Amino acid sequence: MSHRIARTTLTALALACVATFAQAQQGKLKVGLMLPYSGTYTALGVAIENGFKLAVEEKGGKLGGREIEYVKVDDESDPAKATDNVNKLIKRDNVDVIIGTVHSGVAMAMAKAAKESGTVLIVPNAGADAVTGPMCAQNIFRSSFSNWQPAYAMGEVAAKQGKKTAMTITWKYAAGDESVAGFKEGFEKGGGKVVKSLTVPFPNVEFQALLTEIAAAKPDAVYSFFAGGGAVKFVKDYAAAGLNKNIPLYGPGFLTDGTLDAQGDAAQGMLTTLHYADGLNTPRDTAFRTAYAKAFKLQPDVYAVQGYDAAQMLAVGLAATKGDITKKAEFAAAIEKAKIDSPRGSFTMSKSHNPVQDIYLRKVEGKENKLVNVAVKGLADPARGCRM
């Protein structure tokens, strides 16, 4: 070995030692998981945590060279408690990054606190359009979807299927309102008309009176946003009222994702749109599903994928900053230019930090949301109101 090569090798070794030493000095990375561990969205929160931890384990238990310490808060999907809960993580526990949450109303309070404090926030579900719209910020990212994305795609699909009139029914909060607005935009652009919009307060599941109203009005189709326990009850009630025989029930895929065991026959044949599907049959998705099933003795769903990808995005940012999450500009730049190798299919980030992704049309067959086709390729949220 010549002297010059030996010197270069030694310099590289020394630099690697300095980097390792610097990462060790930073200590563990404190990750705040603010998710629902009680209430109608419990299963969603658990799947997100499972997916996140699986990705971390696959990276040897470290991100950016740092071990992870988890701090968990049950947000109960309660917007009234959201500011207190997120401030516990930011001010009391001094977390480095927050992963959360499922419910759009809670997520908006979290985004406000993250924007004010500068703490990095990765949203692994809640689709609140505002988070990557008017509230967008350098330190706020989403690994999931905006409420507009799957809803708009379903509107296009329903119009293409020749449906002329639709009624909508949802929980009355940001996710339901925005999902209905997205569907209406896609459906009416394609020549359809939303004739009536019905709501129930979150998380109520008393649907009977509204189902009677739908039966009397006889629209060509019904579009509905519910998820978790509420979706199970709604789809079963819709079928029990006999409505599924004559009026197809459409929705974003949350209506049937992670819920089919409980919905059984009531969901068969339903069409939904989402950024994930069963039967993608790609090597990436198959590897993920095998690893998830082995680790948790459960089949993954869209929520597990979103948690997994939140960890993948965090890993990209931390790799670029050698574990130093306070380097906000470098952290953000790395995620902005990354292609995230997701089980759903790889995706990039929009300028407002929301995934630009394919939206699949799926059909319920047995216990699967089987891929039918790509409803809209590379769909980006319009990010209305984002100035960044």
- What is the sign of the dihedral through the CA atoms of 288, 291, 297 and 303? negative
Query: Binder to ligand BEZ among 33, 34, 102, 249 (CB under 6 A)?
Result: 102
CA-based nearest residue to 159, from 117, 123, 194, 196? 194
Closest contact distance (angstroms) between CB of 83 and ligand BEZ is 17
The residue (of 110 and 247) whose beta carbon lies closer to ligand BEZ is: 110
Question: Given the rule CB under 6 A, which of 49-57, 84-92, 119-127, 328-336 is the region that contacts ligand BEZ?
Answer: 119-127
To ligand BEZ, the closest distance from the beta carbon of 186 in angstroms equals 17
162: region left, alpha or beta (phi > 0 left; psi from -120 to 50 alpha): left
The amino acid present at 326, given as its one-letter code, is T
Considering only CA atoms, give the Rg of the chain.
22
Least distance between ligand BEZ and beta carbon 180 (Å): 13
What is the DSSP track for 180-239?
Answer: HHHHHHHHHHTT-EEEEEEEE-TT----HHHHHHHHHH--SEEEEE--HHHHHHHHHHHH
The residue nearest ligand BEZ at its CB is 175
Q: Is residue 175 a contact point for ligand BEZ (CB under 6 A)?
A: yes
Provide the 8-state DSSP code for 353.
S
Point out which span in 84-92, 126-134, 181-189, 242-250 binds ligand BEZ (CB under 6 A): 126-134
For position 227 contacting ligand BEZ by CB under 6 A, the verdict is yes
**Residue 275 touching ligand BEZ (CB under 6 A):** no
| Binding status of residue 159 toward ligand BEZ by CB under 6 A | no
State yes or no: residue 104 binds ligand BEZ (CB under 6 A): yes
Residues 234-273 within binding reach of ligand BEZ (CB under 6 A): 254
Beta bridge partners of 376: 359
Residue 132 binds ligand BEZ (CB under 6 A): no
Exposure string for 98-119, b = 16+ CB within 10 A, e = fewer: bbbbbbbbbbbbbbbbbbebeb
**Among 3-11, 102-110, 205-213, 268-276, the segment contacting ligand BEZ (CB under 6 A):** 102-110
Q: Least distance in Å: CB of 276 to ligand BEZ?
A: 12
The answer to whether residue 103 forms part of the interface with ligand BEZ (CB under 6 A) is: yes
With respect to ligand BEZ, which residue has the nearer C-beta, 51 or 127? 127
CB 63 within 8 A of CB 318: yes
Shortest CB 300 distance to ligand BEZ, Å: 16
Interface with ligand BEZ, residue 127, by CB under 6 A: yes
Helix-helix angle 104-117:79-87, to 10 degrees: 30
Smallest distance from the beta carbon of 55 to ligand BEZ, in angstroms? 20
Instruction: Select 32 or 252, whichever has its Cβ closest to ligand BEZ.
Output: 252
Do the Cβ atoms of 361 and 271 come closer than 8 Å? yes
Distance of CA 196 to the CA centre of its chain: 28
Under rule CB under 6 A, residue 126 binds ligand BEZ: yes
First-to-last C-alpha distance (Å) of the chain: 51
* CB of 76 closer than 8 Å to CB of 83: no
Q: Calculate the dihedral angle through the C-alpha atoms of 49, 59, 117, 18, rounding to the nearest 10 degrees.
A: 160
> How many residues of this chain bind ligand BEZ (CB under 6 A)?
11
CB of 128 to ligand BEZ, least distance (A): 6
Min CB(22)–ligand BEZ separation in Å: 38
Query: Measured from the CB of residue 319, what is the shortest distance to ligand BEZ in angstroms?
Result: 29
82 is a contact residue toward ligand BEZ (CB under 6 A)? no
Which residues fall within 8 angstroms of residue 38, CB to CB, at 6 or more apart?
74, 76
Note the residues at the interface with ligand BEZ (CB under 6 A): 102-104, 125-128, 147, 175, 227, 254
